[in-house]
């Protein structure tokens, strides 16, 4: 399988250009159709503002969205002109989460942004985590800082033998087959009761090798550092340009109360992260 339809979400933030650059390269690499979807979260207008100046507020919001959509479309056309064979730009006034969920059903890969501080991109603060839970497709999150001229050459797979991790590895196969090196790392494998087999990571590495993936296996244990920060540290040590992992390995309620690996990566990622649920 290759990615033949790629969806990139655009918003009002400054990081759309970096997402577009990655999406364009992927579309070229996989000869894929590239769809850009501009969508913002529904505005949360205080009731007192609507009561005092409802029409003015609504008109200003509509004007802001229209201007942001035009800027996104111009950026998309400039980024893809004469480089991507098949493209499409869409803009919607629907809430961003609902709009991207719907379009994701007709894509092989979704590219979205790491949450930006204080919702400056025009999407809700929980947009990213809700999207990866509900999209039904792999989501590649691009950090809100940094430049990533290569994505997928040196890949870290965070393996915990869970359903979500298995889904992520399968969803990432088109990238993993093209990587120079893929390192599968089982972090604290003896915790949590996961059935890793005799050698944690060895079984999934064998599966990947049968797909032609250049893969190495390792384990990492730490009593003092949580797994999320272990993943980030390992990615820095091996100069990874992509992390592949499952999202929300525990129940949703437990993640919301206790935090977790997914939350840590969404909050503090330093390289693009491909997540599946």
Quick one: 12 and 137 in the same domain? Answer: yes
The answer as to whether 213 is a domain residue is: yes
Of 108, 142, 176, which marks where a domain is finished?
142
The answer as to whether 39 is a domain residue is: yes
For residue 177, give the DSSP letter: T
Quick one: 138 and 159 in the same domain? Answer: no
Of 94, 116, 142, which marks where a domain is finished?
142
Structural contact between residues 110 and 225, judged by C-beta atoms closer than 8 angstroms: no
**Which residues of the chain have a pLDDT value below 50?**
249, 253-254, 256-259
| Residue the block writes with tokens 């501080």 | 117
Q: What is the pLDDT of residue 71?
A: 95
The answer as to whether 75 is a domain residue is: yes
Half-sphere exposure of 75 (CA within 13 A, CB side): 24
The answer as to whether 62 is a domain residue is: yes
What is the CATH number for 62? 3.40.50.620
In this prediction the pTM is 0.91
Q: What is the pLDDT of residue 254?
A: 47
Total domains in the fold of the chain: 2
Q: What is the pLDDT of residue 46?
A: 59
Quick one: 102 and 162 in the same domain? Answer: no
List pLDDT tens digits, range 211-232. Answer: 999 999 999 887 788 889 999 9
Quick one: 187 and 124 in the same domain? Answer: no
Quick one: 15 and 101 in the same domain? Answer: yes
Q: What is the pLDDT of residue 47?
A: 58
Quick one: 75 and 169 in the same domain? Answer: no
Quick one: 18 and 132 in the same domain? Answer: yes
Q: What is the pLDDT of residue 113?
A: 96
The answer as to whether 147 is a domain residue is: no
The answer as to whether 231 is a domain residue is: yes
Quick one: 9 and 138 in the same domain? Answer: yes
Quick one: 173 and 207 in the same domain? Answer: yes
Quick one: 106 and 227 in the same domain? Answer: no
List pLDDT tens digits, range 103-145. Answer: 999 999 999 999 887 667 889 888 998 999 999 999 999 999 9
For residue 117, give the DSSP letter: G
Q: What is the pLDDT of residue 52?
A: 64
Segments forming the whole domain that contains residue 235: 154-276
The answer as to whether 117 is a domain residue is: yes
Quick one: 60 and 99 in the same domain? Answer: yes
Quick one: 127 and 191 in the same domain? Answer: no
Of 142, 165, 195, which marks where a domain is finished?
142
């Amino acid at each position: 399988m290759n990615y033949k339809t790629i969806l990139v979400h655009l918003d009002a933030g400054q990081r759309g250009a970096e997402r577009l650059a990655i999406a364009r390269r992927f579309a070229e690499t996989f000869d894929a159709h590239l769809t850009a979807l501009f969508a913002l979260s529904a505005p949360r207008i205080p009731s007192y503002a609507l009561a005092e100046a409802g029409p003015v507020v609504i008109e200003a919001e509509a004007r802001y969205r229209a201007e942001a959509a035009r800027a996104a479309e111009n950026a998309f056309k400039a980024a893809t002109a004469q480089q991507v064979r098949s493209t499409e730009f869409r803009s919607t006034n629907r809430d961003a989460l609902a709009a991207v969920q719907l379009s994701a059903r007709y894509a092989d890969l979704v590219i979205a942004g790491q949450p930006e501080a204080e919702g400056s991109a025009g999407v809700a603060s929980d947009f990213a985590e809700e999207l990866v839970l509900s999209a039904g497709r792999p989501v590649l999150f691009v950090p809100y800082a940094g430049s990533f001229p290569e994505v997928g050459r040196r890949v870290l797979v965070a393996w915990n033998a869970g359903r979500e991790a298995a889904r992520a590895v399968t969803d990432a196969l088109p990238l993993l087959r093209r990587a120079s090196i893929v390192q599968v790392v089982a972090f604290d494998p003896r915790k949590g009761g996961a059935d890793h087999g005799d050698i944690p990571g060895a079984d999934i590495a064998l599966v990947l090798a049968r797909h032609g993936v250049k893969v190495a296996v390792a384990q990492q244990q730490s009593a003092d550092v949580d797994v999320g920060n272990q993943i980030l540290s390992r990615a820095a040590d091996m100069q990874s340009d992509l992390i592949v992992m499952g999202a929300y390995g525990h129940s949703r309620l437990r993640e919301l109360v206790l935090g977790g690996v997914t939350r840590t990566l969404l909050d503090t990622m330093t390289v693009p992260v491909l997540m599946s649920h």
